[in-house]
Structure formats: structure tokens, C-alpha cells
Amino acid sequence: MRADRLVATLLLMQSRGRVTAAEVAAELEVSVATARRDLEALSAAGVPVYPQPGRGGGWSLVGGARTDLSGLNEPEARALFLLAGSSAGAEPEVRSALRKLVRALPQTFRADAEAAAEAVVVDPARWGQYDRTRPGVVTLLQRAVVRRRRVRLVYERSGMRSERLVDPWGLVDKDAIWYLIAGTDRGRRTFRVDRVVDAVITDETAARPADFDLATAWEEVVGAMERRRGAVAATALVSAELLPVLRDQQGRHCEVDGPAEDGRVRVRVTAPSANMVARQLAGWGADVEVLGPQSVRDELAALGAELIDRYGR
């Protein structure tokens, strides 16, 4: 997991003073490209890691070799744990490792490091959407979560803007689509970060339930969304060649049921309505055969009739 590698890379640099991407790759059994991306990620996050080009160069940790994390200053420690924690998700092994690393930090930095390690959850499963650019306001919201400060948001939805004062509890990165889970005067709410028009961190302390767990809260959000988005399920047959493309397009709304007798694959595709299932599958034409329910087949027939009426001549 990336969090393990980031921490292992940092400790390797502390013990050797200077390393190359190839040395990191060999030590951690990853590709050179992966090792280079991890080193660049540490540097971009604010950890004091920098490259030295040329013969005999490599990557070094500012201040030379060290055997523990006590050489990090407060912003550097917070950056490392925010980066590592966001990669860790809810994995107990990584959480345990981060807790041990916290104890190697100076006492004054520990609270922020612990908060940073729990500020972000990464959910790699798609909802049928493609990669997007990370919203610039994410960094500000991360800071607010770690610092436990209330945020005043200008939020836009369906063309309507409203101002909200929220207690930021955590952020979720879902394939570069970011969500903020926050407390409001109406209880817990989930906000899409790309709909935040403006955000200002206030001086007010944010309240957060003592038993709040970001990973658990996100599972509840996903469960509620899936129930709404998966109200209608269609069973269909697709070729093995088309299956990975369809799954990439539909994300978690395309589940494999198993092989069919004719060599194709049986899948289950869900959406809020029969019409929406039909619209998502109609573009594949005869490459996708919908077996049921009849409501989806009827919607496909209606779409086909509309297309023939318009383009048949």
C-alpha cells in the first residue's frame, strides 16, 4: 500500500542520507517509476525531500541522515501524515504503523499528526465517472479538518447558491471527486467539493463527535447513495472483451454474475430508473443483450424506435 511505501521511503532516506529512485525501487520491490512518483509526492506534500541531479546525485533529506522522525518540523510532520493517512484508508495495519510513528514525533506535533492521518479517506471505486482535476479548495479544507476550525462555505447546487457554516470532519477522495463530510446545524451532511464556490476558515473551533470515524461515516454515505442509485437492476449478457470497458464506464454499478453458456458474461447493471439503465446500455447496441427486467427492455425498444424514426431514412 502506498502509505507503507511513503513511510518506508522516508525511513530509508533517514538511514542512508541519499538514495536514488532505483535504490528505493530495489529495496521496496517496486518499479523505478513508482519509486520516483513516491519521492516526488513526499516533496510536493512539504516533507523536506529534494533531488540532486547529475552524476552521484539522488534524493536527499534536508538535514542529513537521521534515525527517527524527531527532525521534522510541525508543517512537515503534518504533511507526511496527511499524505500517508489519505493513502491508508481504513486498513488497520497502516493505522497501527502511523500510530507508532506518531510516538516518534516531538510531543508538540503529535496532535496535528494524528488529526492529519485521519483527515482523508481514499475510495478507489468509481461511480461511473472519469478522472477530474483536484479542486484547489481541497488543501484549505484539509487544513481546517486538521486544525479543527469551522469553515464558511458558499455552496452551489442546481444553479442555486447558499452560504453554510460547517464543522469539517473529514474529506474523501473518490477517483479525484472529493467530498467533505461535515457537521451542520441540521446534522451530518456530505458536500461535493467541486460545488464549493468559496471557503473561508474561521477562528471558531469546530465540534466533532468523540466517536466519529471517517471511514465508517463514508461507508454509510456510500450505502445510502447506492440504495438511491441502484433502485433498478438489469441482467445483461456481454462479451468477455467488452466487459472491462463496461465495468470501467459503470463503476460499482456493474457487477459480474458469472459466465453464460454461450461464452459471454452475465452482468448486473443498476441505475435509479429503468429509463436510465436503458440509456446507459443503448449505446452498445447489439453488443449488450438485456435479459430483464421487461421494463428495461421496453425502454430500450422505445429508444430504438425513436432513433429509427429520426435516422431510419
Sheet holding 232-238, edge to edge: 254-259, 265-271, 232-238, 288-292
Contact by Cβ (8 Å): 225, 202? no
CATH number of the domain located at residue range(s) 137-212 in this protein: 2.30.30.520
Instruction: Convert the pLDDT of each residue in 147-158 to its tens digit.
Output: 889 999 999 988
What angle (nearest 5°) sits at the alpha carbon of residue 186, between those of residues 185 and 187? Answer: 95
Q: How far apart are CA 247 and CA 242, in angstroms?
A: 9
- pLDDT at residue 165, rounded to an integer: 95
Instruction: Convert the pLDDT of each residue in 109-152 to its tens digit.
Output: 455 555 555 555 555 555 555 445 678 888 888 888 878 899 99
Domain spans of the chain?
Answer: 2-118, 137-212, 230-311
Instruction: Convert the pLDDT of each residue in 84-105 to its tens digit.
Output: 555 544 445 545 555 555 555 5
- pLDDT at residue 81, rounded to an integer: 56
User: So what CATH class is 2-118?
Assistant: mainly alpha
137-212 shares the fold of 2-118: no
Contact by Cβ (8 Å): 270, 235? no
- pLDDT at residue 1, rounded to an integer: 43
15-19: which pairs have CB atoms within 8 A and are 24 or more residues apart?
15/65, 15/67, 16/65, 17/60, 17/61, 17/64, 17/65, 18/52, 18/58, 18/59, 18/60, 19/58, 19/59
- pLDDT at residue 142, rounded to an integer: 81
Mean pLDDT of the chain: 78
- pLDDT at residue 156, rounded to an integer: 92
Instruction: Convert the pLDDT of each residue in 182-207 to its tens digit.
Output: 999 989 999 999 999 999 999 999 99
Provide the grid cell at 17.
542520507
Instruction: Convert the pLDDT of each residue in 7-45 to its tens digit.
Output: 677 777 776 778 888 888 888 888 888 888 888 777 766
Q: Which CATH number fits domain 230-311: 1.10.3470, 2.60.40, 3.40.190, 3.30.70?
A: 3.30.70
- pLDDT at residue 271, rounded to an integer: 85
Mean pLDDT within 270-296: 91
Mean pLDDT within 60-86: 55
Flag whether pLDDT at 216 surpasses 50: yes
HEC per residue, the chain: CHHHHHHHHHHHHHHHCEECHHHHHHHHCCCHHHHHHHHHHHHHCCCCEEEECCCCCEEEECCCCCCCCCCCCHHHHHHHHHHHHHHHCCCHHHHHHHHHHHCCCCHHHHHHHHHHHCCEEECCCCCCCCCCCCCCHHHHHHHHHHHCEEEEEEEEECCEEEEEEEEEEEEEEECCEEEEEEEECCEEEEEEHHHEEEEEEEEEECCCCCCCCHHHHHHHHHHHHHHHHCCEEEEEEECCCCHHHHHHHHHHHEEEEEECCCCCEEEEEEECCHHHHHHHHHCCHHHEEEEECHHHHHHHHHHHHHHHHHHCC
Does residue 229 or residue 263 have the better pLDDT? 263
The lowest-confidence range among 53-62, 117-126, 217-226 is 117-126
Provide the phi-psi class of 54: left if phi over 0, else alpha when psi is between -120 and 50, else beta.
left
